[in-house]
Amino acid sequence: MPILCSAKCGKNAVLKRPKTGDTLCKECFYWAFELEIHSTITNGKLFKKGDVVAIAASGGKDSTVLAQVLKILNDRYNYELKLVLLSIDEGITGYRDDSLKTVQENKDEYQMPLKILSYEELYGWSMDKIVAEVGRKNNCTFCGVFRRQALDRGAMLLNVNCIATGHNADDIAETVLMNILRGDVARLQRCVNIITITEGTIPRCKPLKYTYEKEIVMYAYFKKLNYFSTECIFAPNAYRGYARTFLKDLERLKPSSIMDIIHSGETMCIKKNIKLPDIGVCTKCGFVSSQDICKACMLLEGLNRGLPKLGIGKSSKAHKALASLPDPKLLHF
Amino acid sequence: MNFVDVNIVLTFYKSSVTMCSVTEEGAVVFETLNQVEPLELKCRKCLIEDGNVVLQKKYVYCKTCFVPMVTHKFRATLGKSKLVNRGERVLVCVSGSQSSVSLLHMIWTGLQQSTYKRLTFDPVVLYIDESVLHNYPHDQKDKIKELFEKYGLTYRIVKFAAAVYSDNCLNEERYIDQYNDKLKNIFNSLSDLTLKEDMLMKLRKYAITKLAELLKCTRIMTAENEHKLSIRLLSNVALGRGSQTSLDIGLAVNNKNGDKTSLVTIRPMRNLSAKEISYYALFNNLDDFMHSNFLTATSEDESIQKTTERFVNDLQVDFPSTVSTIFRTGEKISEKTSAIAYCSLCQGIMDVNMSPSSAMEATKYSKYVSLMGIKALELSLKDVKNEEANQKNCTGCKCKKQDLKEEIIEGLCYACTHIIQNLESLDDLPKDILSKEKERLQFKRMEEQIKDFLL
């Protein structure tokens, strides 16, 4: 006997929601999925009327679904947002060049302007070149640090009010676990915020914060959305991989685990007497940093001086290494 | 016990693989160290004796220096807390685990020492007999009794069910069969291992707190070590108990704010590793006893707690600082100071006044939206609640029971809600918990009535 849709619409269910276990038909699932994001956006007060919002688009499933859903919701509930796509080209042959094609397709389909910024033009180094210099180990440090700043630079160029990223519930739960494992209490508190506002940068928000990865895939599958799903060709971040596998194990045991972890993250407080790093600006590039010289500048400096390992690891060690170099003033940007 | 010498290194505590009875401490796997890199043979402390233990793969200690080193760590943790006063009655909880027999031994040794180093509190040793839930050898209780007698300290052995249900559990065991059945009912109606274990932890805590009050103790000492506490922290986060972390792993937990005479739980073994405790027990010839929980001898894929344990253990192999990093992160997490409500089951902080943009609200909305489909658009969450309330205004007895459950759930924290939702009947919960809940509801109603006149 076919199972009926639990929303009592009379149709047969075609799927079981990974998040709640309810059985739904295709139409009701679309409604549930979109309404949940709508409720996240309105409850979290993510956007104001008239905002220009940059969608950080990688061409992957999360950002593709985010672009689609934001467009639908913007039209349906009159958010009055101007949506633009912002992509970062890390310069990874065989990976990013392909995924950017997907973003180009999205641009045409959703009729949104698209801006692509490349590491090459921002930093003078593409990831291919960096890997040739650094090797397969630790190259994710470069990519991650550079991307964070690249998004900010791109958003400033586009003059937007806010950047929307495709982080989903799984990503956030994973980050909570990672920060506990790494002992990073400052980030542990920050990572569950739905909007992150740092002085001097453009606010970032995560409209998919409470959306399960599995449901995103489901939505893309039923809507036949085109997305790019290849893993990065350079070594994947091994340590995060452990947290990811652990989270998947937990989800299998109890699907609500992901939400439970986010709930834990949201309700945890840091003791008052714990010293958290002060946030200032980088003396070289003026971007937000907790150190005198930000990580991006440090890494770049290492690359340009032919000491690619310079910025990897503790900042204090890098400072020492830098001070011992001849003529530290001769920094090249 | 002479198989320990330098070239035998306790490498790692991978639990439940080799010995299922010692899951909590982690079974000990001995492995011969290949003499690739010759270690110092002499103890790093006295430089005279040959070493017997290798810690962190590099520090060699002899037996004579190792034991005082471990004892010192324990005394330092206890001393730093400045929480135990002269002559204070302290409830020392012994489960039979290696950690707990070592704790007992350390306290006993401390009491025997010369005046200036002597421990001065008044310990009451407690063993809660859980044989009704787990299969223990039938002579276990006698052996524990024998051990306690040997130490010559004040001790109590109490049946778990009696401690949970009876007000007079120290003196009589009259209705014990009835109580045992109630206890078994609770656990039988929870099919999920994760919840079963979580409930066991909460009921154990409830029993210990109650006994401490009955025995007029103002301090409670439990024997969890660093390794166990890190696993507990991580599984707490996975269960949605993140905000209660300091309650569950902290050194000293005050169960009522600020009051000096209130009950405080102290975990003096928290800075010791499982390995240090194993060797302490070995060198002092301490035998541990079988102590089980619902996860003993279960697979790692059946419960969140066990999955977490495996995850931490596996990670520890590749990244030896894992346990201590997790543990230190946990130390930096505190409870919300603004907390006003406590869960009536676990006494943990309640997550009240959550902002509309939170995981809790999002979960509620998910459930609602997948039941309402497109109708969700027209109705809001509140309308549905009203509608449900109207439908419930019948006199059927089944509804009433459901109502009671919902009312009780209102007084519970996020994670305890999951447990109670899965319970078939609430009749088997300890009556204090139910009555506390009734009291709370009573007050709520009173407040409701007079709220317009309160200034």
Q: What is the pLDDT of residues A305-323, one digit of tens each?
A: 887 777 776 666 667 766 6
User: Looking at the domain assignment, is residue B189 inside a domain?
Assistant: yes
Does any domain span residue B197?
A: yes
Residue with tokens 């859903």: A69
Q: Flag whether pLDDT at B411 surpasses 90.
A: no
Interface residue B364 vs chain A (CB under 8 A): no
Asked if the structure places residue B185 within a domain, the reply is yes
* 3-state helix, strand and coil shares in percent for chain A, rounded to the nearest 5: 50, 10, 40
- CATH number for the domain spanning B205: value is 3.40.50.620
CA distances from A165 to A65, A162, A209, B141 (A): 11, 10, 9, 59
Domain assignment of residue B364, yes or no: no
Which residues of chain B make contact with A271, given a CB cutoff of 8 A?
332-334
B400 within domain boundaries: no
Cβ-Cβ contacts under 8 Å for B142 (sequence gap 6 or more): none
Query: Quick check: is B266 in a domain?
Result: yes
* Best CATH choice for the domain A45-275 from the list 3.40.50.620, 3.40.50.2000, 3.30.70.100, 3.40.190.10: 3.40.50.620
* Average pLDDT over all residues of chain A: 86
**Assigned token pair, B365:** 């909305």
Confidence class for position B349, pLDDT limits 50, 70, 90: confident
Distance between alpha carbon B140 and the CA centroid of its chain, in Å? 22
Which whole number is the average pLDDT over A154-183? 92
**Crossing angle of helices B98-112/B63-81, nearest 10°?**
80
Structural domain boundaries, residue B165? 52-332
Known binding residue A62? Answer is yes
**How many interchain CB pairs under 8 A, A with B?**
177
Predicted local distance difference test score (pLDDT) of residue A330: 47
Give the residue-averaged pLDDT of A300-308: 82
Asked if the C-beta of B315 comes within 8 angstroms of chain A's C-beta atoms, the answer is yes
Residue B220 β-bridge partners = B91, B265
Q: Is A256 annotated as a binding residue?
A: no
In this structure, of A34-43, A179-188, B243-252, B409-418, the range with the lowest mean pLDDT score is: B243-252
Q: Is the pLDDT of residue B341 over 80?
A: no
**Yes or no, beta carbons of B315 and A19 under 8 Å apart:** no
Neighbours of B208 (CB within 10 A): 21
DSSP per position, B217-281: -SEEE----HHHHHHHHHHHHHHT-GGGHHHHH-SEEESSSS-TTS-EEE-TTTTS-HHHHHHHH
Q: Classify residue B156: in a domain, yes or no.
A: yes
Q: What is the pLDDT of residue A84?
A: 94
| Residue B374 domain-assigned (yes or no) | no
The residue-averaged pLDDT of A55-64 equals: 91
Given an 8 Å threshold on Cβ–Cβ distance, is B322 in contact with A32? Answer: no
Closest CA–CA distance from residue B362 to any residue of chain A (Å): 7
What are the residue boundaries of the structural domains of chain A, listed by start? Answer: 45-275, 277-312
Residue of chain B with shortest Cα separation from A17 = B370
- Please list the residues that pair with B219 across neighbouring strands: B90, B264
Question: At A303, is the pLDDT very low, low, confident or very high (cuts 50, 70, 90)?
Answer: confident
User: pLDDT per residue over A189-234, tens digit each?
Assistant: 888 888 888 777 889 999 999 999 999 999 999 999 888 877 777 7
CB B136 within 8 A of CB B144: no
pLDDT given at position B252: 61
Is the Cβ pair B370, A39 closer than 8 Å? Answer: no
Q: Kindly state the average pLDDT of the residues B153-180.
A: 85
Looking at the partner chain, which of A9, A259, A264 has a beta carbon nearest the beta carbon of B373?
A9
Number of domains in chain B: 1
Q: Which pLDDT belongs to residue A309?
A: 75
Q: Is A268 left (phi over 0), alpha (psi -120 to 50) or beta?
A: beta
Q: Which band of pLDDT confidence, cut at 50, 70 and 90, is reported for residue B284?
A: very high
Which among B77, B47, B245, B272 has a CA at the least distance from the CA of A264?
B245
Q: What average pLDDT does the segment B232-261 reach?
A: 74
A228-262 residue pLDDT tens: 877 777 766 667 888 999 999 999 999 999 999 99
Q: Tell if the CB–CB gap between A253 and B418 is shorter than 8 Å.
A: no
